[in-house]
Structure 1
Amino acid sequence: MRGLKKTRRIQVLALAAVALVLATGIIGYAMRDGINFFRSPAQLVAEPPAPNEVFRLGGLVEDGTLKRGQGETVTFSVTDGTASVPVAYTGILPDLFEEGQGMVGQGRWTGERFEAIEILAKHDESYMPKEVIDALEEQGVYKAPNAAAASN
């Protein structure tokens, strides 16, 4: 009797372990396309991603580069102060999108330019996405307004 209980307990634990590993694998497989990494223009130039990888690119819209084409296609460059990356976007830009302001775009790198499928812009004059601020501060281009007030 005792040997049968011990064997059954080991079988249940082994089955639970296999089920846990299988569930973790299925969840990881399902999430593989849902994770989008953030890159600054300098990181993108230094280490270009695979052509089919979807990621987010952020920085400041470079002054003088915003060109509206035929239809809904818009081209511009995004910079972090170190590198500049050309961007193409087909669609309607957010109302607050303009040169010299922070933006984050989601899309793919073609080898020549970033093909955006979504563009996000600031929602007021003081907002900038955290990833953009971090990338610009790392490059020494941006200093947070409250950091300047704290040093005085």
Structure 2
Amino acid sequence: MKAKNQRLTLLIIAVVAMLGAVLLGMSALRDQAAFFYAPADVARKGLPLDRAVRIGGMVREGSISRHPDGVTIDFIVFDDSAATIPVRFTGITPDLFKENSGVVADGRFQPDGTFVASEILAKHDENYMPPELSRQAGLHKTDTLE
């Protein structure tokens, strides 16, 4: 076999191997990927019961209720539309988690429409400053940084 043919054969084998590795990786990650849904998306498209998803929105005022076990909470997530998602979470909530604040939750939908979250992430605006830092800077809650 000529050297030119050997190089071409090796190049083809390398490309096929790379393509196979990419396809294998994509198929492995497909089951691990979390898709993001807003309450309006869930209302429009229906409940994605077959996979882990991520939802996001605002925590409705007056919707947080704590169970007697002390670690389970129920709350409602809403967005600009009239759509809402009831959420149940068991665990310790982030410090920034509160009513009328943004939240992102990872978990799965149940057939009854409840979202059972395995993780909650609280969102904040770009002006957030940790309480410790604001005390050091001599700022109060009504003060702003300019």
Give the TM-score category using the shorter length: 0.7 to 0.9
Say whether the 8 Å CA contact 1:48–1:109 is kept in structure 2: no
Deviation at 1:124, TM superposition (A): 6.6
Say whether the 8 Å CA contact 2:49–2:110 is kept in structure 1: yes
| Per-residue deviation, residues 33-76 of structure 1 (Å, max 9, x unmatched) | 44222110010121134323111111110111111012111001
Deviation at 1:81, TM superposition (A): 2.9
TM-score normalised by L of structure 2: 0.75
* Structure 1 gaps, min length 5: 128-152
| Per-residue deviation, residues 101-135 of structure 1 (Å, max 9, x unmatched) | 111111111132111000011357845xxxxxxxx
- The residue that corresponds to 2:117 in the other structure is 116
Alpha-carbon separation, structure 1, partners of 2:80 and 2:3: 68
Correspondences of 1:41-60 after superposition (within 5 Å): 41-60=39-58
Segment of structure 1 superposing worse, 70-79 or 3-12: 3-12
Alpha-carbon separation, structure 1, partners of 2:38 and 2:27: 27
Alpha-carbon separation, structure 1, partners of 2:126 and 2:73: 22
Does residue 1:99 correspond to 2:93, yes or no?
A: no
Correspondences of 1:2-151 after superposition (within 5 Å): 4-71=2-69, 72-82=71-81, 83-111=83-111, 112-122=113-123, 126=127
Alpha-carbon separation, structure 2, partners of 1:9 and 1:58: 52
Alpha-carbon separation, structure 2, partners of 1:45 and 1:75: 19
Deviation at 1:27, TM superposition (A): 1.9
Counterpart residue type for residue 33 of structure 2:
I
Q: Percent identity?
A: 40
Alpha-carbon separation, structure 2, partners of 1:125 and 1:23: 40
CA RMSD in angstroms comes to 2.0
SS in 1 for 2:74: strand
Deviation at 1:10, TM superposition (A): 2.9
TM-score normalised by L of structure 1: 0.73
Counterpart residue type for residue 15 of structure 1:
I
Counterpart residue type for residue 12 of structure 2:
A
Alpha-carbon separation, structure 1, partners of 2:126 and 2:59: 14
Alpha-carbon separation, structure 2, partners of 1:123 and 1:35: 24
Between the two proteins, the alignment pairs up a number of residues equal to 125
